[in-house]
């Protein structure tokens, strides 16, 4: 079922799950502060409960609401890559997000997607979670038709055409006073090193199972 932007907004405000386009892959969206919707999203994807969700924002400045402390290099990274295919996993204030979506950790991922339709939705509803549109561990959908092939022709989708990049975002995690690569993506180590003055090393797939 293809939605308009206004319908997508109404579905999300009604604590429903829908699919939204991004420049990387399509994602399954719901309000970040709806316990009912978050639990339903984990069940829909078959996602392990210890795998955290990423919060998507309409504007980079919105991340300051969630941060537990100032983080070196964060402003440089988001100025360079947001909106875009970079997810940052950072320490957050206690009790500011639902424990169900943090994977038992005081950390959360954040991103500003680079797609005009989804940004329009975000500006209307506020922060949402937007993990990739797939069954956990399977390839993500990169078009509205692929979403319907996975979740059924009646699943609500905002059709934004085919994803431009067709690969999930690069994920950086801040710990031990430096940035680490938790998932490789479009953004290269070399690009990151030019901004951070050091080359972030691979940490492994933490908090970022699709």
Quick one: which of 88, 90, 107 has its CA closest to 99? 107
Average pLDDT, the chain: 94
The neighbour count for residue 103, using CB atoms within 10 Å, is: 18
143 and 3 Cβ atoms separated by less than 8 Å: no
- pLDDT above 80 for 208: no
- Give me the mean pLDDT over the 94-121 stretch: 93
The helix-helix angle for 116-125 and 5-13 (nearest 10°) equals 40
From CA 114, how far away is CA 123, in angstroms rounded?
A: 13
Tokens in use for 9?
């907004």
Model confidence pLDDT, tens digit, residues 63-81: 999 999 999 999 999 999 9
From CA 106, how far away is CA 102, in angstroms rounded?
A: 7
How does residue 103 score in pLDDT terms, banded at 50, 70 and 90?
confident
Confidence at residue 102, expressed as pLDDT on a 0 to 100 scale: 86
How does residue 203 score in pLDDT terms, banded at 50, 70 and 90?
confident
Q: In what order do the strands lie in the sheet with 18-20?
A: 18-20, 27-31, 128-129, 54-56, 107-111, 86-91, 170-175, 178-183
Hey, what domains does the chain have and what are their CATH numbers? Answer: 5-196 (3.90.870.10)
From CA 39, how far away is CA 43, in angstroms rounded?
A: 6
Tokens in use for 130?
């937007």
Q: What is the DSSP letter of 16?
A: -
Model confidence pLDDT, tens digit, residues 144-184: 999 999 999 999 999 999 999 999 999 999 999 999 999 99
The number of helix segments (H) and strand segments (E) in the chain equals 6, 8
Residue 203 or 40, more confident? 40
Q: What is the pTM of this model?
A: 0.94
Q: For residue 81, how many C-alpha atoms fall within 13 Å in the half-sphere facing its CB?
A: 25
Model confidence pLDDT, tens digit, residues 30-46: 999 999 999 999 999 99
152 and 36 Cβ atoms separated by less than 8 Å: no
- pLDDT above 80 for 192: yes
Confidence at residue 189, expressed as pLDDT on a 0 to 100 scale: 92
């Amino acid at each position: 079922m293809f939605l308009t932007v206004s319908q997508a907004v109404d579905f999300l405000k009604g604590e429903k799950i829908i699919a939204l386009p991004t420049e990387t892959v399509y994602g399954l969206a719901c309000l970040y502060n709806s316990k009912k919707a978050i639990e339903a999203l984990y069940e829909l994807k078959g996602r392990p409960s210890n795998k955290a969700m990423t919060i998507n924002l309409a504007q980079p400045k919105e991340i300051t609401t969630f941060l537990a402390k100032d983080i070196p290099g964060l402003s440089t990274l988001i100025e360079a890559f947001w909106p875009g295919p970079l997810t940052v996993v950072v320490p957050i204030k206690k009790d500011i997000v639902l424990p169900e979506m943090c994977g038992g950790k005081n950390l959360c991922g954040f991103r500003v997607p680079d797609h005009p339709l989804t940004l329009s939705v975000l500006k209307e509803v506020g922060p949402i979670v937007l993990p990739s549109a797939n069954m956990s561990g399977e390839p993500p959908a990169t078009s509205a038709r692929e979403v319907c092939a996975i979740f059924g022709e009646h699943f609500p989708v905002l059709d934004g055409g085919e994803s431009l990049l067709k690969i999930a975002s690069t994920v950086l995690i801040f710990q031990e006073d430096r940035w680490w690569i938790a998932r490789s993506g479009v953004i290269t180590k070399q690009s990151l090193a030019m901004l951070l003055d050091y080359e972030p090393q691979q940490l492994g797939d933490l908090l970022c199972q699709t």
